[in-house]
Amino acid sequence: MKKVFACFLIFMICGIWLFPDVPEEKEEVIYSVTYFNGLHYARNFCKENSDTIYLLANTSNFLVIKKTMTYFWPLTKKYLVDAQRLNIVFDGTLEIEQNNKIIKTLKTVLYIIYNDPGLYKNNWKVFVGNDAEAESKRLEEIMRQYELSYSEYLTKQKIYESAKEKLIEKMQEYNDRGRDTSKLVNQYKALIQPVPPINPTPEELSVGKQFVINLPAGEYKIRLRNTDGKILQGSEKNLFLFKERREGVVGYRIVPGDRWTKPDKSQLPSHILYVNPTTDIYIIPFLQNEYNDLYYEKMMDNNAQGNPTFYRWEEIKEIPLSKLEIRKGDESTSIELKEFYAEKLKGTSSLGYKIVPYEPEGAHKDKSPAFTGFKIPLERKNSSITFKLQDARGKYYNASTREIRIVLKSNSYIALVIFTFLPLLVMAIVLLVRQKQYRQGKQG
């Protein structure tokens, strides 16, 4: 009995270490935020004890006030929401105040947001109010047509599979009887498998009824007035809308051919790119804006920390239909944007990748390109290369010039080693001379 009790006690003690602590949840009134960060839409929330919501000015952002459960997750060091346990959305009117004066009162409206990639990978479309209702009907009609097309595809696929099975059975029968199956083989090859229709559902679709915030930069106060005319406790917040300090500056992602998964960035013309000539490099241009670090961090995570004196560059848009002018000495050439694919190297180790031109109808059929950019071949004879970006009409983008400097391996490493140990050699000689002089003086 004592052994059983001891084993049970050991199990309970070990269980304390084996099972993680369950985070403590707290019931709070929060603001659920769908915000635009300059490049795409994302979600965040503002806790009840947070006093300020940070958003980009002059863009459509969306708020809703709800009562839910929040908890702190140690692994990510972030606060999270448990909407499955509690999720009560408050209705009413959102009052926006500036300089002690109510400038706007808002009601929740239907909104639809989705990414519609085309020329730009991030091409967000926003519909609000009546426009959202019209877009909702359009999307419903598109989905209805898709469902009809998919139903037709399933019927055709069933007929196709049935025809295949019948031909295979007939060929087997002919083979058993020793008859010629060439006509049946030709019929089998002539069968065309139906292609399923492409699902037209937009990427990253978001639909809901929320308050729409689209205001100039400045400081505001917001609060929710319930349907009974009272201010909801916990809904009074400061609203800080900020804008970029500089906008539309060209930046580049620098992709070395031997490590394409670890690109570098060049954000200002003063940045000099030092590279070795053993590999090619690829340049991916983009437009960027400069934002205050504290405001931007708080927008993405209301509980985050940031530096109010530091400004950061953030990508906002790709630059398609552009050309890159490269100058090597007195020679100048212009190259076009191209798509590239990263092929995994085959071998015993299977380590590394090789960047090759993308072939959508050939080796890379049914695969997506790794990136779109400019390939700059490097040569040892060119110690410096400069490049700048042009638009489709040949006009240069401001602040798009960069310089590449080729770093060659030095063959004078022996001299550098000798030079490194020269002070030690001089010190040894001095000690030997002093020791000799000391002995001579002692003998005298």
As a residue count, the chain comes to 444
* Position 12 in a domain: no
Which CATH number characterizes residue 32's domain?
2.70.50
Q: Does one domain contain both 216 and 264?
A: no
Q: Does one domain contain both 264 and 313?
A: yes
Question: How many domains are contained in the chain?
Answer: 2
Q: Does one domain contain both 217 and 284?
A: no
pLDDT tens, position by position, for the chain (444 residues)? Answer: 555 555 555 555 554 444 455 678 999 999 999 999 999 999 999 999 999 999 999 999 999 999 999 999 998 888 999 999 999 999 999 999 999 999 999 999 999 999 999 888 899 999 999 999 999 999 999 999 999 999 999 999 999 999 999 999 999 988 888 888 888 889 889 999 999 999 998 988 899 999 999 999 999 999 999 989 999 999 999 999 999 999 999 999 999 887 777 888 999 988 888 887 778 899 999 999 999 999 999 999 999 999 999 999 999 999 999 999 999 888 889 999 999 998 887 764 545 788 999 998 888 988 889 999 999 988 777 778 899 999 988 899 989 999 998 877 655 556 666 667 778 777 878 777 777 776 766 565
Concatenated DSSP letters of 346-387: PSSS---EEEEE--TTTTTTT---SEEEEEE---TT-SEEEE
* Position 7 in a domain: no
Strand (E) or helix (H) holding 434: helix 413-443
Task: Tell me the β-bridge partners of 339.
Answer: 372
Q: Does one domain contain both 228 and 260?
A: no
Q: Does one domain contain both 377 and 269?
A: yes
Q: How far apart are CA 241 and CA 238, in angstroms?
A: 10
* Position 133 in a domain: no
Domain boundary among 194, 211, 242: 242
Strand (E) or helix (H) holding 35: strand 26-36
Q: How far apart are CA 39 and CA 288, in angstroms?
A: 9
Quote the domain boundaries for residue 73. Answer: 22-116+202-242
* Position 354 in a domain: yes
Q: Does one domain contain both 231 and 321?
A: no
* Position 169 in a domain: no
Q: Does one domain contain both 217 and 294?
A: no
* Position 373 in a domain: yes
* Position 362 in a domain: yes
3-state secondary structure of 443: helix
- pTM of the predicted model as reported, rounded to 2 decimal places: 0.80
* Antiparallel, parallel or unpaired: β 272-275 and 264-266: unpaired
Q: Does one domain contain both 259 and 236?
A: no
* Position 298 in a domain: yes
